[in-house]
A and B are shown apart, each in its own frame.
Chain A
Amino acid sequence: MRVMEAEAVNEEKGVVVRGEWQRRIMTFLMVFGPGLIVMEADNDAGAVSTYMQAGGQYGLHLLWLLVVLLPICYFIQEMVARLGIATGKGHAAMIYERFGKWWGRFSLIDLLAVNFLTLITEFAAISLALSALGISPYVSVPGSAVGLTMMVVTGSYLRWERIVIALCLMDLTWFVLAFVVHPQWAMVARNAIRPTVPAGGITSSLVFLVIAIVGTTIAPWQLFFQQSCVAEKRLRFADLKWARLDTLIGAVFTVCVAGAMMLVGNYGFEHKIAFQDPAQLALALGPIAGTFVRNGVLLLMVNAAVLGTTAISLASAWAYGEVQGWEHSLHKKLWEAPGFYATYIACVGAAAAIVLIPHVPLQLVIISVQVFAGLILPSAIIFLQLLLNDRELLGERWVNRPWNNIVNWTIIVVLFALSLLLAAQVILPNLFPK
């Protein structure tokens, strides 16, 4: 962090603080943002559905998985933040420049495809949740699309960041909902630290859900998003320790919120409520748990979808803009970076329009998301790992330490194995008992 004695810098810029601790807190607050946003936006509509489904189907049995995923999320995103700070460039641009056009195009096209399909699921969730609250999809979906566009076209990164951090903090309400449904806290603690197999053993749906939880907690767009976001915020070399803290806080917060979602799903499990999506569960919970829980789940579902949509669309717009060599910054006005904003608006607008088409095959979209995500995640992480070992580019200061590499190669092998297992299960549905 560039901190200097008051008299030595431009008087018009910065904030004067007294003492070391104030300096540290102020510095952290200035750097804070990308880590929390990338993590919490990952608790998008698909994640709400997956975590609540996990609670609804298996009670508290899969809570331990979230605890395991916490350090994994942190390790991956820490590398992304480090690479962003060291190079000041986005992930897509780095793949293009260091691995050539073929790998660059492959990564970009796969990213854009999976992001776009995910956006459709986000708008489907908005439509579903607000329909349950009596608002027509023909009002809620275009309204959300317009709101999401207005959020980014103000020409100020900081304004966008503050709005999104406020949306992230709204997810604190999940903790209130988790307390309201009165889980057995001793059981929660036990299941969080001790893996247990649910009654019925290892079945096909359990394996699928485990892979879905891993896939939803570590998503490909996150790598592209955080690196571009760090570059956009122009974080400096000395900001790395604060960016790490930001990422760690984001990871802990996100995993705790995901746990709270599972607890709400578990309430449905305890009351033997069968449901296909969180909106159905919310409606069924209304008469038992009260209107607060019912409306809370529905509105938080919308919040999750809005967070996911803005982050995923920006990940696409930043990546595409970087590769095309366009201006690609939220600091620019609409007319100063037309290609960048057009990509964002096209992603949001087209996904919203598709959801409004009657009888759109959403199930096919969800399966396609899983297939594309399965393809891109291990490959994107491999590029990340190779870039973080690129001494020619980064020098000794920024490359991975040997222990980083051991941890990351282990994560990569596990992700590859899970990805292949998912593919095998899709092809051989009888691989595990039903």
Chain B
Amino acid sequence: MTTTEYRVVHPLDDVQEEKCSTDGLGKIRMTRAVRISLGVLRAYLIAMTLMLGYHVLDLSGLLHRAH
């Protein structure tokens, strides 16, 4: 009975593949999904920043002084 011999090459020693490249593609196409996702992300970041700002003012005592 014969067994096949294989040579297994480590990725670092192997010939480099041609990967999916962004060359010449520019920015991502603004499909509806991309537009909505980035819009939600912007809204989320604004909401978080406002909440954080409120928290900082609250901790500094400025809000209590105003009452």
Given A13-B13, A236-B11, verify A423-B27 contact (CB < 8 Å). Answer: no
The minimal Cβ–Cβ distance linking B11 to chain A, given in whole angstroms, is 5
Contacts of B40 in A (CB 8 A): 382, 416
Contact check, B9 vs A9: say whether CB atoms are below 8 A apart.
yes
B37 contacts across to A, CB distance below 8 A: 382, 385-386
Distance in angstroms from B36 CB to nearest chain A CB is 10
User: Provided the pairs A379-B45, A424-B51 are in contact, do residues A30 and B27 lie with their beta carbons within 8 angstroms?
Assistant: no
Asked whether A427 is an interface residue with its Cβ less than 8 Å from the other chain, the reply is yes
CB pair A386–B5 under 8 Å, yes or no, is: no
Q: How far is the CA of A174 from the CA of B53 in the complex (A)?
A: 41
Instruction: Please measure, in the bound complex, the distance between the C-alpha atom of A158 and the C-alpha atom of B22, giving whole angstroms.
Output: 28
Binary flags per residue of A91-115, CB closer than 8 Å to B gives 1, else 0: 0001001111001000000000000
Q: Does B66 contact A (CB under 8 A)?
A: no
Greatest chain A CB density within 10 A among B16, B51, B58 is at B51
Q: Does B62 contact A (CB under 8 A)?
A: no
Contacts of A386 in B (CB 8 A): 28, 33-34, 37
Contact status B25-A5, CB under 8 Å: no
Indicate whether A203 reaches chain B with its CB closer than 8 angstroms. no
Given A87-B20, A99-B27, A18 contacting B5 (CB threshold 8 A): yes
Does B7 have its Cβ within 8 Å of any Cβ on chain A? yes
- Contact B20 A30, beta carbon cutoff 8 Å: no
Q: For B55, what are the chain A residues with a Cβ–Cβ distance below 8 Å?
A: 426-427
Contact B48 A5 (CB under 8 A): no
The chain A residue sitting closest to B8, CB to CB, is A26
The residue on B at minimum CB distance from A235 is B11
**Quick one: given A6-B6, A16-B7, A87-B19, are A392 and B29 in contact (CB under 8 Å)?**
yes
B47: A residues at CB distance < 8 A = 420, 423
Map CB proximity to A onto B1-19 as digits: 1 under 8 Å, 0 otherwise.
0011111111111111101
Tell me the bound Cα distance from A423 to B17 in angstroms: 45
| Number of A positions contacting B (CB below 8 A) | 64
Chain B residues bordering chain A, tally (CB within 8 A): 38
Residues of chain A lying within 8 A (CB to CB) of residue B29: 392
| CB contact under 8 A between A86 and B33, given known A235-B11, A382-B41, A416-B44 | no
A residues 189-208 near B (Cβ < 8 Å) are: none
**Across the two chains, which residue of chain A brings its CB closest to B16?**
A234
Residue of B nearest to A98 (CB): B28
Nearest neighbor of A96 in chain B, beta-carbon distance: B22
- Are A27 and B12 touching (Cβ within 8 A)? no
Q: Is A371 an interface residue (CB 8 A)?
A: yes
CB distance from A386 to the nearest CB of B (A): 6
Count of A-B contacts judged by CB separation below 8 Å: 143
User: How far, in angstroms, from A385 to B36 measured CA to CA in the complex?
Assistant: 13
Q: Which residues of A contact B20 (CB under 8 A)?
A: 86-87, 393-395, 398
CA distance A382 to B58 in the complex (A): 31
**Which residues of chain B are near A98, meaning CB under 8 Å?**
22, 25, 27-28
| In contact, A392 and B25 (Cβ under 8 angstroms) | yes
A133 interfacial by beta-carbon distance below 8 Å: no
With A2-B14, A233-B11 already in contact, the answer to whether A23 and B6 are too (CB < 8 A) is: yes
Most buried by A among B4, B14, B27, B47: B14
| A30 and B6 form a contact (CB under 8 A) | no
Cβ < 8 Å to B, chain A residues 388-434: 389-390, 392-395, 398, 416, 419-420, 423-424, 426-427
Q: Which residue of A lies closest to B34 (CB)?
A: A386
Chain B CB within 8 A of A374 CB: yes
Query: What 1/0 flags go to A1-33 for Cβ under 8 Å of B?
Result: 111111011000111111110110011001100
CB distance from A402 to the nearest CB of B (A): 13
Q: Cα distance A157–B11 when bound, in Å?
A: 12
- Given A5, A18, A236, which contacts B17 in the complex, CB threshold below 8 Å? A236
Q: Are A427 and B54 interface neighbours, CB within 8 A?
A: yes
- Residue of A3, A87, A392, A419 near B28 (CB, 8 A) is A392
Q: How far is the CB of A335 from chain B (nearest CB, A)?
A: 21
- Residues of A contacting B9 in the complex (Cβ-Cβ under 8 angstroms): 2-3, 9, 13-14
25 chain-A/chain-B pairs, Cβ below 8 angstroms: A2-B14, A6-B7, A14-B8, A19-B3, A19-B4, A23-B8, A27-B8, A86-B20, A88-B17, A97-B22, A97-B25, A98-B22, A98-B27, A99-B27, A99-B28, A100-B27, A157-B12, A235-B11, A236-B14, A375-B45, A382-B41, A389-B33, A393-B20, A398-B20, A420-B44
